[in-house]
Amino acid sequence: VQSTKNKSASKTTKITNLKPSKTLVKSKSQSVQKRLTLNKTTSAKKGAQKTTKVKLHKAVTKVVTAKKYSKPNLEKRIRQPASANPLVSSGRFLTNVFEPGRVSFHLLAKDMPFAYRVTSLYVKPQEVIDFSIVDANNGQSFKVQAKAGKLARLAEKDYRWTAPNQSGTYRLDITKGSERMQVNLFVLKPMPKNGVINQYSIGRYPEAAKDGDPRYLPPTGLIEVTEANKDMLISPHFRLGQFVCKQEGGYPKYLYLQERLLMKLEWLLAEVNRRGYFSPSFSVMSGYRTPFYNNRLNNVSLSRHQWGDAADIFIDNDQDGVLDDLNKDGRIDKADAQLLYELFEQLEEPNPTMHGGLGLYEANAFHGPFVHVDARGTQARWGMND
Ligand SMILES: [Ca+2]
Ligand SMILES: [Ca+2]
């Protein structure tokens, strides 16, 4: 993959830096034409072969035959709307260069280091959050600003922010020279006592935590997701709306997320890109699940999705709602998800702070292949030997 990338990158340089010859221009426009006409043609007959366009690079297209997906099945499998991966569809990423979105310092809050340009913390009304700024190259001074809540400086790089009483989205900005970290502070809505909030069903969490394990305690509150904030970035490559539960019902919707899930997803995404699988974001098939929805799915009752630290993900750069042909064998199947699974496992192993659940899933009538990841703190594995 790396060599293909390099080759095509040098080709692009040639096209832009030198005056393109007529033949080059012609072949480029021909490939665009070809792409338009080859647009996802499928045979109507069930079981017939489907031609899928796999976009390898902006100017290089390849047609592969994926035997596994006949159109009727594929349609059922695509539950994910086309806009599910807004970072791809917005055209924000026009080149296949991944930018990790990190800053040179980090914020230490809730016992976790945050080093991304966009970071989100979830807090209760009036909760007091102590944080420090850690900077290896101690040169420049920092400016910390909060428009709401109460910000106090405790020591040179230690601060305290007291959340307002009113739930909603607030913001803290940390600047160091030309660098800026935007910290979104979501002040949570209290959990509804009857399992329903603004006509949105949450259901009930088990009263007592599983074996006294605090990771299974009911959430302290919920993030309100509206039409207005669903597209906001909560980390450099993920948006709030990607994680809402797939249950029916309009906005406002309610969501529980944990900081460590986004930290893990950003880390995995950067590592996947570093290994040559360009992807500007992961498609999140399922993020948060309300207990109400989880019960209806007949899923395991203690699924981490209900505790906001799990996501079922895949890479879908061609935006067809299904995992891409990552191993380039012309088929989209379990082997492509397995490639991600094995990569994640290899990455997780030496990094105890990133330990969590990892599950491999093959396609069925409702979805394509995907990988479950969670940030529960201890390792759990399933799906690989099924
Ligand atoms: Ca795809
Ligand atoms: Ca494949």
Dist. CA 314 → ligand 1 center (Å): 9
Dist. CA 288 → ligand 1 center (Å): 22
Whole-angstrom Cα distance, residue 4 to residue 10?
Answer: 10
Say if residues 50 and 70 touch (Cβ distance below 8 Å): yes
Rg (CA), the chain: 23
Proportion of the chain in helix, strand, coil states, percent, rounded to 5: 25, 30, 45
Say if residues 336 and 360 touch (Cβ distance below 8 Å): no
Pick from 287, 288, 366, 362: nearest CA to 331 = 362
Dist. CA 234 → ligand 2 center (Å): 31
Stated pTM of the model? 0.76
56: left (phi over 0), alpha (psi -120 to 50) or beta: alpha
- Give the Å distances, CA to CA, from 322 to 23, 248, 367: 35, 21, 8
Dist. CA 362 → ligand 2 center (Å): 12
- Give the Å distances, CA to CA, from 339 to 83, 288, 321: 25, 24, 18
Pick from 184, 202, 300, 284: nearest CA to 243 = 284
Q: pLDDT tens digits for 53-73?
A: 433 333 333 333 333 433 333
- Point out which residues pair with 171 in neighbouring strands: 184
Residues with CB under 5 A from ligand 2 (ion): 325, 327, 329, 331, 336
Say if residues 206 and 225 touch (Cβ distance below 8 Å): no
Q: Quote the pLDDT of residue 19.
A: 38
**Closest ligand to residue 337's CA:** 2
Q: Quote the pLDDT of residue 158.
A: 95
Q: Element (H or E) spanning 62, and its range?
A: strand 60-66
Dist. CA 359 → ligand 1 center (Å): 20
Whole-angstrom Cα distance, residue 358 to residue 315?
Answer: 16
Dist. CA 339 → ligand 2 center (Å): 9
Dist. CA 120 → ligand 1 center (Å): 29
**Closest ligand to residue 334's CA:** 2
Whole-angstrom Cα distance, residue 24 to residue 30?
Answer: 10
Dist. CA 87 → ligand 2 center (Å): 24
Whole-angstrom Cα distance, residue 362 to residue 351?
Answer: 27
Q: Quote the pLDDT of residue 136.
A: 81
Dist. CA 34 → ligand 2 center (Å): 23
Pick from 232, 247, 235: nearest CA to 199 = 247
Whole-angstrom Cα distance, residue 78 to residue 69?
Answer: 11
Dist. CA 335 → ligand 2 center (Å): 6
Dist. CA 368 → ligand 1 center (Å): 9
**Closest ligand to residue 331's CA:** 2
Q: Quote the pLDDT of residue 385.
A: 82
Dist. CA 53 → ligand 1 center (Å): 9
Say if residues 368 and 359 touch (Cβ distance below 8 Å): no
Dist. CA 63 → ligand 1 center (Å): 13
Q: Which residue has the tokens 């913001």?
A: 171
Q: Quote the pLDDT of residue 32.
A: 39
Dist. CA 343 → ligand 2 center (Å): 15
Q: Element (H or E) spanning 52, and its range?
A: strand 50-57
Say if residues 326 and 339 touch (Cβ distance below 8 Å): yes
Mean pLDDT, consecutive 10-residue stretches, the chain (386 aa), reads 41 38 40 38 38 37 36 36 41 67 96 97 98 85 95 95 97 96 98 95 84 88 97 98 95 97 98 94 97 88 94 96 96 97 97 97 95 97 89
Whole-angstrom Cα distance, residue 340 to residue 2?
Answer: 17
**Closest ligand to residue 339's CA:** 2
Q: Which residue has the tokens 């406002």?
A: 252
Q: ω before 100 within 30° of 0 (cis)? A: no
Dist. CA 214 → ligand 1 center (Å): 38
Dist. CA 325 → ligand 2 center (Å): 4
Whole-angstrom Cα distance, residue 355 to residue 145?
Answer: 34
Task: Kindly report the number of other CB atoms within 10 A of residue 206's CB atom.
Answer: 13
Q: Quote the pLDDT of residue 95.
A: 58
**Closest ligand to residue 320's CA:** 1
- Give the Å distances, CA to CA, from 178 to 118, 140, 174, 181, 378: 15, 11, 11, 10, 38
Whole-angstrom Cα distance, residue 232 to residue 225?
Answer: 10
**Closest ligand to residue 80's CA:** 1
Dist. CA 255 → ligand 1 center (Å): 26
Whole-angstrom Cα distance, residue 369 to residue 322?
Answer: 7
Dist. CA 306 → ligand 2 center (Å): 31
Max CA distance (Å), the chain: 72
**Tokens at residue 284, please?**
């999140």
